[in-house]
Each structure stands twice: as C-alpha cells, then as structure tokens.
Structure 1
C-alpha cells in the first residue's frame, strides 16, 4: 500500500507545502506530529494530515487538524486576502486577454488595407445617394438596404485583400514588409481562415437579402479578385500583366460592383432600375479614370519587388517618370471632362458644384504632382495615397451630379 507524506504548513505568506516519503498507513494520531505527512507504501495510498500551530492571515490561532477540503478553503482565503500581490489581482489577469483581442483587431484592420476599405464604404454611400430623388427616399428601407450592401462589400473587400496577401507573401516581404502576414504578425492559417469566411459571408449576404444585382456584383468581384492574385493556372495572376490588372480594377471599382450597388438600391427604393441615367454614366466614367490611374500608379513604388518576381508592370516597361505622368494626365483629362459635363446640367446647384469642384481638384493634383521627387520612393508612395484621397473626394462629388 502506497501512501504520500505532505510536509508542514509554514506561514501563510509562503504557502509552501513540502512532500516527503515515508512508510505508514493512514493514522488518526495527528496531534503527535508537527508536520503533514503522506506516506507511500507498496501500491496503496493513505493520507495523514498533521499540523503545526500557527496564526493565519487574520491573526487567529489554528490548532485543529486539517482535512484536504479545509486546507484548500484556507488557501483560498489567504490568496483572496493577498490583494497587494499582482499574482492574485483578477483585474490584472483580465487585462492580458483583453489586450490580445485588441491587438488581433488592430492586425485585422491592417490586413483589410484601410485605404481600400474606406473606398468600399464610400462607393456604397455614393451609389446609394445617386438613387435618391426626394427627401422621402431616406426611409428605414433605404438605410437597411445600404447596410446590406455595406456589410457584404466589406466582407468581400477583406477576402480580396486577404487572398492577395496570401498569394503575395514573398513579394510583400520586399515591397510591403509592414503588412501583417509578411511581418509575421498573422499566421498563414489565420489569414486563410479569415479570407475564406469573409468570402462566404459576403456571398451569403447577397443571396439571403434576395438582391440579384448585389449577389452577382459580389460574385464578379470574387472572380476577378481571385484571378488578380491566384497563381495556380497559367491564365491567372492578372497582376502580372498591365491590362488584366487594369481590367480587375475596372470591374471592382468602376463597373460591376458599383453598378451592383446602384441597381440594388434603385430597385429596392423605386421598384425598377435603369443604367442610362446621366448620373450613373458620369460615375462610371470618373471611377474608370481613377481605377486605371491608381492601378498603374501602384506599380511605381513596387518596381524592385516586381522585377524580382517576374511581374511585367507598365512601370517597369515605361519607366518611373513616364508612368507617373501618364497616371497624372489620365486624371487631369477626366477632371476637365467632368467640368464640361457638369456645365451642361439643367440643375443650377449641381452645375456649379460639379464644375468648380473638378477644376479645383485638377489644380490641386497638378501642384502636388509637380512637387514629387521621383527618386524618393517614400514620396512616390505618399503621392499614391494622395490619389486615393482624391478618389474618396470624387465619390462625394459623384453623388451630387444630377
């Protein structure tokens, strides 16, 4: 029979319990000894508790023998009373999981590429506002339909950005080492899980709300977003070639997806839809100009990594300076064309807003472009983000065209 001997309880401050080995059976003569003993003899286990007289944390003398349950209760009391010890601070222990959640959300925020996510939010808002004809259109139904498009669009945006980082992890270690996956802040398993769930959620929302325009818009975005990054078939990985990369951006930012938002909102509010209205044609034209300009400009600061991985971007073929000014001129021409279109509007306030805003944006863009040092890649990257800011502003101007 095996029995274990537990040593004496020392002061409550130490809370130490020593273990020794002895050969004896369970004994009830606990008062004869000054320590707590568990003896081990053969294969049977017996427990013998003995105590040493001491005062507990509250100054009370303890002379009675402890059972195992009493011992645990007394240790709990002592631990609970030790409020000055961080080891027993419940608030301190809860901070760590809270910090972990906040840290993960911050990584997820960078994983979705914030500038692109903002573009998605503004795209939904702009296309929704284009369908408004009178103040009574701002109904609970209107806002519910906006929310459907917004949530579904954000999930698909997370899939597209996440899938791109999964496929480009080695490339991003050169071009964008601060991205969560390339920096090792996010595991590949987590990135795949988040991206897959995001795609499923987006398509499910489009299907459940019963909006064909929204559903097929998300399907189109999923297809071109996958084709842009995937490298599993020879005809995929569209980002390797300038015109397929531009086609992806046109589908995602100017054609299928924005038009899907527009038709979703128009049918929900007015019961019908048309693609030949002046505002939607203006929107498609301006969004197309920005889509082409930003997708080509993006390759300028990425030249080094693209060359290493065999990506034949226009920036590599034409050179940094020429590509830079092509992108700027695309937008300048679009701004001037927008001003002319605005001047033909029959609605006075829309006419003045469209003309003045686009001429002002053209001037701001030109002044900013002239100040960029093309040999400084940080300055070029800053200019790229400035183009996105102009893109954001254009979403606002589009919603005012009538």
Structure 2
C-alpha cells in the first residue's frame, strides 16, 4: 500500500469538538522527500498548545527524533489530562497517535519549521480546522475540512510576512532600552539651552546627529548580546527572535554589524569628539559584556556586568551628549552645570538598580549556564529589596536637591514629582510576587518607566 493511502485509511478513532485547531506532524523511518514533508505539514492546521503526532512506528512520547532531512528534535511533555496518550492500529507499522502533547523546545535547521512551531507556541490564529472524527477506520483526507482562503491572499500574505519581520526586529532591538536612550539624550540635550532662541535648526540637526548613531549603537549592543545568549534566551526570553528561530544566526549577525557600521559612519561625519567617544566606549563595553572570548564575557561577573551598564547609562550618556550639544552644536565653552551633575549622580543609582534588577527574572537560565549574577549568588528577594531601598534613597536625595532649586515653580515640580514616584514605587513593590516570573518582569519594565519619568524631571533641577 502506498504511504499516502496508508496515512489516509488507517487513522483511528479520536474525538474533537469543532472547531479545534491542531498540528499534524508526519514522521517516518522511511525517507520522505522534503516537498512531501512540508506539503503535508503546511497543509494542516496548527494550535497554540496541542501537537497531534502521527508516525509509522511507535516512538517515545517524551522525545521524538524527526526525519533525517529536517534534523529536528522535539522534547514533548504528556498533557493528556486523564486520556491515554497513545492509541494504536492493527498490524506491523501501524499508525500511532500521540494526543495532547505540549511543545517544550525545538531545535531545527529549517526556518519554515521554526516559524510554524513559533506560531504554535505563541497562539497564532489558525486558518484551518478539523471536523469531528467518527469511530473506526476512516479516510483522513475526506474528514479534513479546510477554511477557504480569500482571493486576495497574496497581497495579504506579503503584508503579514512583512509585519511579522518588523515585529521581530522590534523585539530584537529591545525597545525599552531604545526608548531609554532616546529619552535620556533628548533630556540631557535640553540642559545647555539658555533661551528659546537656542531652539534653532542647528540645534535640532545636532540633536539628530547624536540620536541616530546612539540608537544604532544601542541596537548593536543588545543584538550582540542576543547572538551570544541564544541558548540562555531559550530559557529566559524565548520570545526574542533569535531564541525563537524567527531570525537565523546569519540574520542576527548582519543586523548587528549593519547597526555598528551605521553608528560609526554617522559618528565620524558629525565631527564631534564627545559623540564619537561615547560611541566607542559604548561599543567596547557592550562587546566586553557579551562576547565569549578570553578576558571578555563580563556579564559572567556580577560587578563587571553592573559596571558596564552604569558607565554607559549614568556617565557616558549624561556627560558626552551634554558636551556635544553645549560645545559642538551651540558653540559654548564646556561648563558642567548643576542639572548635569545631578543627572549623572542620580543615574548612577538608577543604572545600578537596572543592572541588578534585570537579572532577577533570569535567575533560572543564568544559574543553569553559570552566569554568576547577584541574583544567583544572593537570591532574588535580597537583590529585589536592595534595589528598592537604593531607589528610595535616590528619590530622597532628589527631593532635597529639588528643594534647593531657584524658583518656587521648580521646587514644586521636583519635590512633588520625586515624592510621587517614590510613593508609587513603594506601593507597587508591596504587591510583587517574587515566585512569579511574569510579575517580576512586569516590575522590571515598571522600573524602566520610572527611568523615563526621571528624565522629564531633570531639566527642572536648575
């Protein structure tokens, strides 16, 4: 009997309640052509949580080694909820059905297959469904009901593909860090301004000359970290495009080097030594933090990792971009003012908190791969409350500095603003569940929102 007929006539009883999306993966000890395999795979529906597996021979329901040409490995976990996980048919080489298995991880060289599994894990809306199957041996081909595709599917498919790639690049760029870079540079660039006359075209061109290469360097740093942390991110951050398989390693390398080249090209064209110096320092520290070569990979050492982030976020951003705007855009002599000194000191506290806090939700993957972060060494709870106390100390200091500002308007904004942020931080910290990774990650993103808010208050610290 032909393989196709064997599949179509020997699927045994199973009950579905329509519409139930599913994935059907065909595995065989006999060789299948790549086109046959993918035509079968792509023509079948898929689900966000359930994988229905068919093979010509009984395979382990815990680990499935898929066909030769795909070189895929799927570790699976039984999730049958009381129903027997395996149902067989008659005779040698019968079809075995493994029901309700959840995908735990994938390793596959085929981008097509990775995209399908990523959609499965992240609840992509299915376009096809099974009908309820009847008892006994049936024809699978006759019982599979397909939802017709729209006639203008080609244009929609192109737009969907483009939007998915843009979404993947958005996640690849780590947008919370990009926003932090933009907000920080814009805020610091306001500090040398003495009157509305300073807001000239020259000012805004100079600001753009600083912003664009800084954002490109930010993408280089976070992208490089993802290139060297793919295995760790599969545990800690599986939605990142390199960890999920949406981007190949080659795509990641191209994006990282393109960002670095664009950053340095624009930095050289700006003819601003402080701007170019900021890019060089950021590139070196970002590379030392991530690259796994002797004397580098500083992220494995808690103090060095925190120092990298503190140096860039607290010192380089404040001083280098302030001097760039003051001297090389506005043409004034370099004078460090009270607001820029306050910003540098305050952001030392804040950058230390970000450097410590970012490792709290990642403790499982870091421990497994030997990353000795403070959270791994001291425990999540101790690091969490140390970060909260450090931020509250910074806010208390900011309130005292704000009370010494020159005008009543500035006093009100800075004192009340920092007091409000400190209160929100304290009350939010009381409700966090340190055993829940989603809760910790949400609080970490809240810390970044406080980081953005501080840059709105810094220009009032005259």
| TM-score interval (norm. to shorter) | 0.7 to 0.9
Instruction: State the Cα RMSD in Å.
Output: 1.7
C-alpha separation in 2, matches of 1:199 and 1:273: 30
CA contact (8 A) 1:218 1:257 kept: no
C-alpha separation in 2, matches of 1:143 and 1:99: 36
Indicate whether 1:309 and 2:309 are aligned.
no
CA contact (8 A) 1:124 1:261 kept: yes
Q: What residue in structure 1 maps to residue 304 of structure 2?
A: 244
1:240-297: CA deviation from partner (whole Å, max 9, x where unpaired): 1111111111122111133221111111343134353101110001111110001101
CA contact (8 A) 2:433 2:440 kept: yes
Q: How many residues align?
A: 315
2:178 to 117, 123, 130: 117
Q: What residue in structure 2 maps to residue 299 of structure 1?
A: 359
1:104 to 150, 161, 165: 165
Indicate whether 1:333 and 2:393 are aligned.
yes
CA contact (8 A) 1:213 1:263 kept: yes
Return 5+ residue gaps in structure 2 as ranges. 1-148
Q: What residue in structure 2 maps to residue 171 of structure 1?
A: 232
Q: What residue in structure 1 maps to residue 346 of structure 2?
A: 286
Q: What residue in structure 2 maps to residue 189 of structure 1?
A: 250
Query: Which aligned pairs between 1:3-402 and structure 2 lie closer than 5 A?
Result: 92-233=153-294, 235-274=295-334, 276-402=336-462
Q: 1:174 deviation in Å?
A: 0.6
C-alpha separation in 1, matches of 2:419 and 2:321: 28
CA contact (8 A) 1:221 1:252 kept: yes
SS in 1 for 2:241: coil
Q: What residue in structure 2 maps to residue 5 of structure 1?
A: none
C-alpha separation in 2, matches of 1:349 and 1:205: 39
SS in 1 for 2:242: coil
Decide whether aligned partners of structure 1 residues 113 and 267 sit closer, same or farther in structure 2, where only a CA change above 3 A counts.
same
C-alpha separation in 2, matches of 1:146 and 1:270: 11
Q: Which has the higher helix share?
A: 1
Q: 1:95 deviation in Å?
A: 4.0
Decide whether aligned partners of structure 1 residues 273 and 194 sit closer, same or farther in structure 2, where only a CA change above 3 A counts.
farther
Decide whether aligned partners of structure 1 residues 144 and 374 sit closer, same or farther in structure 2, where only a CA change above 3 A counts.
same
Q: 1:345 deviation in Å?
A: 1.4
CA contact (8 A) 1:246 1:292 kept: yes
CA contact (8 A) 1:297 1:384 kept: yes
SS in 2 for 1:192: helix
Q: TM-score, normalised by structure 1?
A: 0.75
Q: 1:383 deviation in Å?
A: 0.8
SS in 1 for 2:348: helix
CA contact (8 A) 2:327 2:334 kept: no
Q: 1:150 deviation in Å?
A: 1.2
CA contact (8 A) 1:131 1:265 kept: yes
1:33-77: CA deviation from partner (whole Å, max 9, x where unpaired): xxxxxxxxxxxxxxxxxxxxxxxxxxxxxxxxxxxxxxxxxxxxx
C-alpha separation in 2, matches of 1:136 and 1:218: 29
Q: 1:102 deviation in Å?
A: 2.4
CA contact (8 A) 1:220 1:257 kept: no
Return 5+ residue gaps in structure 1 as ranges. 1-85
Q: 1:376 deviation in Å?
A: 1.5
Q: What residue in structure 1 maps to residue 68 of structure 2?
A: none
C-alpha separation in 1, matches of 2:215 and 2:366: 28
Runs of 4 or more, structure 1, over 6 Å off, are: none
CA contact (8 A) 2:185 2:317 kept: no
Q: What residue in structure 1 maps to residue 54 of structure 2?
A: none
C-alpha separation in 2, matches of 1:194 and 1:107: 12
CA contact (8 A) 1:137 1:269 kept: no
CA contact (8 A) 2:310 2:355 kept: no
Q: What residue in structure 1 maps to residue 65 of structure 2?
A: none
Decide whether aligned partners of structure 1 residues 368 and 273 sit closer, same or farther in structure 2, where only a CA change above 3 A counts.
farther
